[in-house]
Chains A and B, each alone.
Chain A
């Protein structure tokens, strides 16, 4: 997760996780279907409002916004020059803003620019929506939601949750191994990229063997707590829906249907 879950007293944190998950799903669907920047901006603005409501720590994803700014600009430029605008509906799609080369060669079209801008916005939309989901819904609730899916067996859920929990453990192990290398005189920051990568090779063996050992110990502890019985119980917490949750959930479902229906009528499409 880009941003870790934090227990807060905000309306979003109090909302049923299923509602937030549905909301995130709608943002993802919208980002797949819509190509019009105005529609995308509307969703993005709504996400910013929701983020404010959830006291979302924007500082924590600032780095992400700045890291992808270069690919975003690149996408917009490439689309402006190369997009086949015959695929678009907008009347201004072929309006040429300027030419890259003399003699009216390689035009930069408004249609391509707006399409590229929408595509970039869609990246931000999805990232912000998923980050708000991660910030307002605890990992435990997310696993509980996954547990409800018919495909999720106990083993699947267990593997999923264990993997989730062990990411920070593995990260910590890697940091320790790198620190230990430095204290043994290894200059990790010096040399060409290829040399620096080569210096990381020695940590692979201890990382793997430590992970295997950890896996063994986990298996032993699981076995000792009766994992492996044929029970189909998944330990699923009953979900409680407040009246507000129910209303929002129904509204979101209607929005999803409308989104798809209006899309077939050409709304949201550039």
Chain B
């Protein structure tokens, strides 16, 4: 198959700035290829994709040099609406790309813009819904759908325009695991079954290495690495330099290859299971499991007794939850969207009142306390930092909480100075928060809670939409707070960070707490996890599916050590 996309010496800077966000890009993509573009935040990935359909420079202004040829058209000089029939784009946030009052109308939006008649539009709608398996959503209101369903509809709307290329800009960053799986499976089908060229911008690599033909790694507007998946991921040191996440299967595979257990780098967990299962164990593994649960004598800081809550009154969203959390624990609440994780957390901070049951913080009932009163003891960082930043400068934002609590000036000055250092935003003290990157805004949101010095910090999905480096930065910050004695509770879908940072995991399903224990304990309960749609990390999955390996492995290093012990 021939070239369908060609960037030749492409450079770009946004209007009013001199900084080049794309620097002399040269890439060719063949028709039908599945190409993944990755790299740290700010590397220029999205900008590069926006040059494909002419959004840059027609919609987003700036200085664009070089040549961009897409299916024979010059993307720089062809109007965006003409390019739209060649290149479809699916963005991060499904809420901002759904235009119809119903799913059917939304999918018809693009074809209608192309000037097709009602009947022609409907033909496209039906085909799109059939091919993407979303027929059941036809008459639903887009805004009532789950995240995964919304994103599927967005893809359907783009697919109905019959483009030859579809660009996906971090399409799963706002989705839960089920939504992610659904969207990845659709993307895979679009490529493999219907032959559409895919350009996917993504941070999370473990899922997509299974389907990608080519990986492009960008950094600071340049192509840092490119080639086939194996070729790129073999260069671990270079990837580590950028702080990129390396899929656990590849990390393990590289270690095993180095010790000559494997002849080549294996990309997927299934391949590793297949090959490693053929080894014969020479030793029986003796578990050296250490208990890392917080000692019992520590003070109980949060106590939840028979907590029930119902939003609409027709069913319980929390069904009699019982729980106690000790001072200094680092707890992860996991489970599918709608399982009751955020509802539980909102009760602890007092934003929701229970229909039944009791909540105590430091032994005192909180029923009569206002949220503001409770904020001295329990801090809550919302999922979206933009919904909790109120002031005009980073410094003022950090002052907002302690000022409301009536702290004196000197205290506020000292704590703000300290926290600015802790969250790494000292140089942005006077900057308008909107000018910060998403990761920095998330840090600011966390900092604004830390300045209130609560004993418990609850963070709702702290790493959603962040690159791996920022994810680790944020989690390290929470770890430091935990080391200082703070109790940390995170709500997350990222099992890798649960394994790395948390000493206790609570699994929720349909308003009930179904598992409670250390990561090692919890991740062995395969059946319950399946019910809760929680997928352990690849390394746990690999270990579980190799007969001679213990099934409570939670890190690559641990797997590697145990494997060597058993098979050598």
Taking the complex as formed, is A206 at the interface, i.e. its CB lies under 8 A from any CB of chain B? yes
Instruction: Point out the residue from A165, A223, A233 that lies within 8 Å of B59, measured CB to CB.
Output: A223
Instruction: Point out the residue from A165, A226, A229, A231 that lies within 8 Å of B101, measured CB to CB.
Output: A165
**Cβ contacts A to B, 19 pairs, < 8 Å:** A162-B99, A168-B143, A173-B387, A176-B382, A176-B388, A177-B390, A180-B382, A180-B390, A183-B379, A184-B401, A205-B390, A209-B386, A214-B95, A218-B97, A222-B99, A224-B80, A224-B84, A226-B85, A226-B161
Report chain B residues within 8 Å CB of A164: 101
- Whether A229 touches B371, Cβ cut-off 8 Å, given contacts A209-B434, A224-B80, is no
Stretch at the interface among A13-21, A39-47, A135-143: A135-143
Stretch at the interface among A235-243, A249-257, A262-270: A235-243
Instruction: Point out the residue from A162, A177, A218, A219 that lies within 8 Å of B388, measured CB to CB.
Output: A177
Taking the complex as formed, is B133 at the interface, i.e. its CB lies under 8 A from any CB of chain A? no
Taking the complex as formed, is A217 at the interface, i.e. its CB lies under 8 A from any CB of chain B? yes
Min Cβ gap B89→A in Å is 4
The residues in B between 157 and 194 inclusive whose CB is less than 8 angstroms from any CB of A are 157-158, 161
Taking the complex as formed, is A247 at the interface, i.e. its CB lies under 8 A from any CB of chain B? no
Taking the complex as formed, is B102 at the interface, i.e. its CB lies under 8 A from any CB of chain A? yes
Report chain A residues within 8 Å CB of B519: none
Report chain B residues within 8 Å CB of A220: 55, 59-60, 91
Whether B96 lies near A225 (C-beta < 8 A) is no
Whether A235 lies near B114 (C-beta < 8 A) is no
Whether B143 lies near A237 (C-beta < 8 A) is no
Whether B386 lies near A184 (C-beta < 8 A) is no
Taking the complex as formed, is A189 at the interface, i.e. its CB lies under 8 A from any CB of chain B? yes
Nearest CB to that of A188 among chain B residues?
A: B372
Report chain B residues within 8 Å CB of A209: 386, 434
Report chain A residues within 8 Å CB of B158: 224-225
Closest 6 CB pairs of A and B: A185-B404, A140-B101, A180-B388, A221-B97, A182-B371, A231-B115
Docked Cα-Cα span, A133 to B343, in Å, equals: 34
Taking the complex as formed, is A260 at the interface, i.e. its CB lies under 8 A from any CB of chain B? no
Residues of B in contact with A, size category = 35 or more
Excluding A177-B388, A181-B390, A202-B390, 10 further A-B contacts by CB distance (< 8 Å) are: A165-B98, A168-B143, A169-B143, A182-B370, A182-B375, A184-B375, A184-B388, A187-B370, A206-B387, A217-B96
The residues in A between 179 and 203 inclusive whose CB is less than 8 angstroms from any CB of B are 179-189, 202-203
Instruction: Point out the residue from A158, A188, A222, A235 that lies within 8 Å of B121, measured CB to CB.
Output: A235
Min Cβ gap B169→A in Å is 10
Min Cβ gap B424→A in Å is 21
Docked Cα-Cα span, A209 to B391, in Å, equals: 12
Docked Cα-Cα span, A143 to B53, in Å, equals: 30
Docked Cα-Cα span, A236 to B105, in Å, equals: 10
For chain A, the count of residues having a C-beta within 8 Å of the partner chain is 54
Report chain B residues within 8 Å CB of A206: 386-387, 389-390
Docked Cα-Cα span, A202 to B403, in Å, equals: 14
Report chain A residues within 8 Å CB of B349: 183
Report chain B residues within 8 Å CB of A186: 372, 404
Report chain B residues within 8 Å CB of A213: 386
Instruction: Point out the residue from B102, B112, B434, B452 that lies within 8 Å of A185, measured CB to CB.
Output: B452
Whether A224 lies near B386 (C-beta < 8 A) is no
Taking the complex as formed, is B109 at the interface, i.e. its CB lies under 8 A from any CB of chain A? yes
Nearest CB to that of B434 among chain A residues?
A: A209
- Whether A221 touches B91, Cβ cut-off 8 Å, given contacts A140-B102, A176-B382, A209-B434, is yes
Taking the complex as formed, is B384 at the interface, i.e. its CB lies under 8 A from any CB of chain A? yes
Whether B114 lies near A226 (C-beta < 8 A) is yes
Report chain A residues within 8 Å CB of B448: 184
- Whether A237 touches B118, Cβ cut-off 8 Å, given contacts A140-B101, A224-B80, is yes
Whether A231 lies near B386 (C-beta < 8 A) is no
- Whether A233 touches B115, Cβ cut-off 8 Å, given contacts A181-B390, A214-B96, is yes
Whether B113 lies near A227 (C-beta < 8 A) is yes
- Whether A221 touches B96, Cβ cut-off 8 Å, given contacts A183-B379, A226-B81, A226-B161, is yes
Whether B55 lies near A235 (C-beta < 8 A) is no
Report chain A residues within 8 Å CB of B98: 165
Whether B118 lies near A236 (C-beta < 8 A) is yes
Taking the complex as formed, is A210 at the interface, i.e. its CB lies under 8 A from any CB of chain B? yes
Taking the complex as formed, is A102 at the interface, i.e. its CB lies under 8 A from any CB of chain B? no
Report chain B residues within 8 Å CB of A203: 390
The residues in B between 350 and 388 inclusive whose CB is less than 8 angstroms from any CB of A are 351, 370-372, 375-376, 379-380, 382, 384, 386-388
Docked Cα-Cα span, A74 to B10, in Å, equals: 72
Whether B117 lies near A217 (C-beta < 8 A) is no
Min Cβ gap A189→B in Å is 7
- Whether A185 touches B382, Cβ cut-off 8 Å, given contacts A228-B80, A231-B114, A231-B115, is no
Report chain A residues within 8 Å CB of B560: none
Docked Cα-Cα span, A185 to B351, in Å, equals: 12
Taking the complex as formed, is A153 at the interface, i.e. its CB lies under 8 A from any CB of chain B? no
Nearest CB to that of B397 among chain A residues?
A: A184
Whether B55 lies near A224 (C-beta < 8 A) is yes
The residues in B between 447 and 503 inclusive whose CB is less than 8 angstroms from any CB of A are 448-449, 452
Nearest CB to that of A217 among chain B residues?
A: B96
